[in-house]
């Protein structure tokens, strides 16, 4: 079965919905194809205790402020799912859930979007597939030797799953800090947090609001041809959300240096010292989920696709949205994706 649309958006998480909002406003003919069975993108799969690192109004997509969650300054992931569900309905966005796109190919003056339910012929494509489906695990020696359990952030749910186990949490970013804090505050597992360099906490009074301001300043500097301010990385890595702060202040969130290798029963450091472990949780980040774009042969350095803003340099009918700073400062956040979504749709409207 083959259909036609001016624009096909691949991915119906927050980035795909922000694109949909602007496509609707421009009056364009479009469809959003999303592999998830229901709205919410990656937010449907986050761990139980996860809270946003910004208050609700600072976690909003274009057009509609996220309502506050009663009793929570920093909303839970479930609240984001409710917000995205409502957003999809409110703007009557044509999202086809349960539809996975396998490939995007060139076909003369159209792009063919091949999904498991059929093929779409599109004049332009916005890829907004996020990175949750591509967890990254570093090549650490001994990973295949370790006889305990290994999982990634994407598989972590709650401390009860690790009662009475010795758990090593690897990673000095927000996920590592939050999961280590979750386990440490619960107290049922023995948790050791390991980071490649000493963890860098943002000042306690800085949350996602300030991160967004810094990202905005960076964009302005770059737009004006001034020096890159370094963006949010200039401030630090870890937002001291309440559980992280509580665990840190209670002395239960101190990081050890990263081990050199895994052994059959635990970890070993470069100086030969060892520690036993039952579980390793890799909070080691993600890579953009771009496999469906492979037929276009656009890959550049570090698995990214070279872009000007959101537009693929070597395929002007393709825009990449929401993957990170390389597709727009703070574009991988709820509040930050609105502007690149508007710019991408503006360019596509011009192209059509």
Is the Cβ of residue 103 or residue 260 nearer to ligand FAD in the bound state? Answer: 103
Question: For tokens 């990254």, what's the residue?
Answer: 136
Backbone angles phi, psi at 262, to 5 degrees: -90, 145
The two structure tokens encoding residue 217: 């300043």
Shortest reach from residue 64's CB to ligand FAD, in Å: 15
Burial of 89 (0-12, 13-18, 19+ CB in 10 A): exposed
Compute the distance between CA of residue 123 and CA of residue 7 in angstroms, rounded to an integer. 6
The two structure tokens encoding residue 27: 């009056």
Extended beta strands in 175-272, E state? 190-195, 255-257, 261-262, 266-268
Check residue 93 for interaction with ligand FAD (CB under 6 A).
Answer: no
Judged by CB under 6 A, which of 130, 172, 231, 340 binds ligand FAD?
130
Shortest reach from residue 75's CB to ligand FAD, in Å: 9
Site string for ligand FAD, 251-290 (x = CB under 6 A): --------------------------------------x-
- Residue 277's nearest CA partner among 189, 190, 167, 195 is 167
Site string for ligand FAD, 171-210 (x = CB under 6 A): ----x--------------------------------x--
Q: What is the DSSP letter of 69?
A: B
Shortest reach from residue 70's CB to ligand FAD, in Å: 18
Shortest reach from residue 332's CB to ligand FAD, in Å: 5
Compute the distance between CA of residue 62 and CA of residue 336 in angstroms, rounded to an integer. 10
Check residue 24 for interaction with ligand FAD (CB under 6 A).
Answer: no
Candidates 50-58, 60-68, 185-193, 338-346 — which segment interacts with ligand FAD by CB under 6 A?
A: 50-58
Cα separations (Å) of 261 from 137, 152, 172, 278?
A: 14, 17, 17, 15
Candidates 6-14, 227-235, 244-252, 270-278 — which segment interacts with ligand FAD by CB under 6 A?
A: 6-14
In three-state secondary structure terms, 80 is helix
Is the Cβ of residue 33 or residue 262 nearer to ligand FAD in the bound state? Answer: 33
Check residue 15 for interaction with ligand FAD (CB under 6 A).
Answer: yes
Judged by CB under 6 A, which of 5, 9, 12, 255 binds ligand FAD?
12
Compute the distance between CA of residue 312 and CA of residue 314 in angstroms, rounded to an integer. 6
Q: What is the DSSP string of 267-334?
A: EE-TTS-EEE-SEEEE---B----GGGGGG----GGG---EETTEETTEEEEEE-SSSGGGSTTTTST
Is the Cβ of residue 31 or residue 191 nearer to ligand FAD in the bound state? Answer: 31
Shortest reach from residue 212's CB to ligand FAD, in Å: 8
Check residue 215 for interaction with ligand FAD (CB under 6 A).
Answer: no
Shortest reach from residue 144's CB to ligand FAD, in Å: 26
Is the Cβ of residue 49 or residue 192 nearer to ligand FAD in the bound state? Answer: 49
Compute the distance between CA of residue 269 and CA of residue 286 in angstroms, rounded to an integer. 25
Judged by CB under 6 A, which of 7, 124, 128, 262 binds ligand FAD?
128
Is the Cβ of residue 57 or residue 257 nearer to ligand FAD in the bound state? Answer: 57
With a CB cutoff of 8 Å and minimum separation 6, the contacts of 203 are 236, 240
* Torsional class of 209: left (φ above 0), alpha (ψ -120 to 50), beta (otherwise): alpha
Question: For tokens 């969130």, what's the residue?
Answer: 253
Judged by CB under 6 A, which of 34, 82, 88, 182 binds ligand FAD?
34
Candidates 122-130, 162-170, 215-223, 258-266 — which segment interacts with ligand FAD by CB under 6 A?
A: 122-130
Interface residues toward ligand FAD, by CB under 6 A: 10-16, 33-36, 41-43, 46, 52-54, 59, 100-101, 128-130, 132-133, 175, 208, 289, 292, 322, 332-334
């Amino acid at each position: 079965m083959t259909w036609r649309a001016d624009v096909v958006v691949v991915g119906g998480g927050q980035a795909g919905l922000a694109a949909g909002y602007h496509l609707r406003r421009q009056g364009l003919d479009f469809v959003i194809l999303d592999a998830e069975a229901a709205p919410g993108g990656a937010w449907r799969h986050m761990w139980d205790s996860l809270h946003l690192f910004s208050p609700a109004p600072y976690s909003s997509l274009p057009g509609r402020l996220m309502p506050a969650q009663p009793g929570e300054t920093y909303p839970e992931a479930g609240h984001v799912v409710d917000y995205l569900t409502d957003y999809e309905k409110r703007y009557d966005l044509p999202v086809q859930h349960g539809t996975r796109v396998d490939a995007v190919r060139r076909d003369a003056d159209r792009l063919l979007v091949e999904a498991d339910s059929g093929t779409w012929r599109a004049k332009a494509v916005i890829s907004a597939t996020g990175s949750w489906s591509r967890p990254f695990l570093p090549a650490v020696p001994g990973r295949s030797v370790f006889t305990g359990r290994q999982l990634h952030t994407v598989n972590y749910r709650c401390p009860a799953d690790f009662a009475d186990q010795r758990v090593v949490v690897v990673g000095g970013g927000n996920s590592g800090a939050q999961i280590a804090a979750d386990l440490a505050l619960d107290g049922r597992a023995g948790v050791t947090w390991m980071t490649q360099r000493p963890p860098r906490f943002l000042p306690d009074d800085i949350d996602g609001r300030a991160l967004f301001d810094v990202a905005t300043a960076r964009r302005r500097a770059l737009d004006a041809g001034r020096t890159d301010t370094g963006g949010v990385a200039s401030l630090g890595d870890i937002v001291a959300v309440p559980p992280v702060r509580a665990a840190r202040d209670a002395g239960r969130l101190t990081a050890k240096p990263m081990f050199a290798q895994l052994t059959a029963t635990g970890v070993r450091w470069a100086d030969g010292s060892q520690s036993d472990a039952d579980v390793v949780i890799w909070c080691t980040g993600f890579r953009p989920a771009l496999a469906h774009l492979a037929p276009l042969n656009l890959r550049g350095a570090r698995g990214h696709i070279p872009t000007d803003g959101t537009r693929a340099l070597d395929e002007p009918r393709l825009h990449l949205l929401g993957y990170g700073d390389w597709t727009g400062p703070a574009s991988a956040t709820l509040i930050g994706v609105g502007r690149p979504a508007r710019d991408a749709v503006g360019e596509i409207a011009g192209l059509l």
